Amino acid sequence: MKKLAGILCLSALATGAFAQGLVIFNNSATTLVTSGAPGNTASISGAAGSFYFGLLTSASGAANTFTFAGNYATNSGVAAGRFLGGTQIVNGWAAGTSQFYEVAGWSASLGPTWTPGWLAGNFGGKSGFFGISGSASGVSGGGNPPAPTLPLFGGTGIASGFNLAPTVPEPSSMALAGLGAAALLIFRRRK
């Protein structure tokens, strides 16, 4: 009987050690997402899937330490400026522990999956919109005893919305476009 009780206790400890936290991956009416150049922004809109959002987490919150957690959300398609991901399990963020987090957003024209190079401004020559929210920290939900599910926006979370700015092609793409335009001018003059 003691062996069985010991095995059950170890099993509960092991399960608790690998438990993942729970977050509410939605923004609120007071933390809307906009897109556009500064001074010319509007709340994101369009069919669901026109914009994607990814959760970035960091143990320290220091610059360049945020990594993609594997969690996605998409714009609601109904309410402008809103995105919906619902309650999600976050791998690598143990239940009941504190982490720093940010949310990255991008237009569907950049692709549906997260690309780490976007943080360095490398958009592969694609045009669209990209932006990152402010940072916040919080304690994920779940665990034993269960902690409340963490809302990522509002309250003690990310307190304001953020803007998705137009992407600018990298210099090599602009250089190639310039060479192509020069070649067209040269060939036109020869005719």
How many of the other CB atoms lie within 10 Å of CB of 96?
18
Binning pLDDT at 50, 70 and 90, where does residue 8 land? very low
Q: Residue 169: pLDDT above 90?
A: no
Residues with Cβ within 8 Å of residue 121, at least 6 apart in sequence: 168, 170
Q: Is 179 helix (H, G, I), strand (E, B) or coil?
A: helix
User: Which residue is it, tokens 């490398």?
Assistant: 122
Q: Which two tokens stand for residue 20?
A: 């993942």
Cβ neighbors of 162 (< 8 A, separation 6 or more) are 33, 34, 103, 105, 131, 132, 133, 134
pLDDT: is 153 or 15 the higher one? 153
Residue 163 pLDDT more than 90?
yes
* Residue located via tokens 């400890």: 13
Question: What pLDDT shows up at residue 72?
Answer: 98
pLDDT tens for each residue of 121-138: 999 999 999 999 999 999
Residue 169: count of CB within 10 angstroms of its CB: 16
For residues 1-19, give the mean pLDDT: 44
DSSP symbol at 147: B
Note the pLDDT tens digit of each residue in 178-189: 556 566 566 566
The pLDDT of residue 7: 43
Structure confidence at residue 156 (pLDDT): 86
Domain regions of the chain by residue span: 19-190
Interval 34-93: pLDDT, tens:
999 999 999 999 999 999 999 999 999 998 899 999 999 999 999 999 999 999 999 999
pLDDT, one tens digit per residue, over 80-116 is 999 999 999 999 999 999 999 999 999 999 999 999 9
Residue with tokens 């594997």: 70
User: What does the pLDDT read at residue 11?
Assistant: 42
Which pLDDT score is estimated for 159? 95
pLDDT of 112 = 96
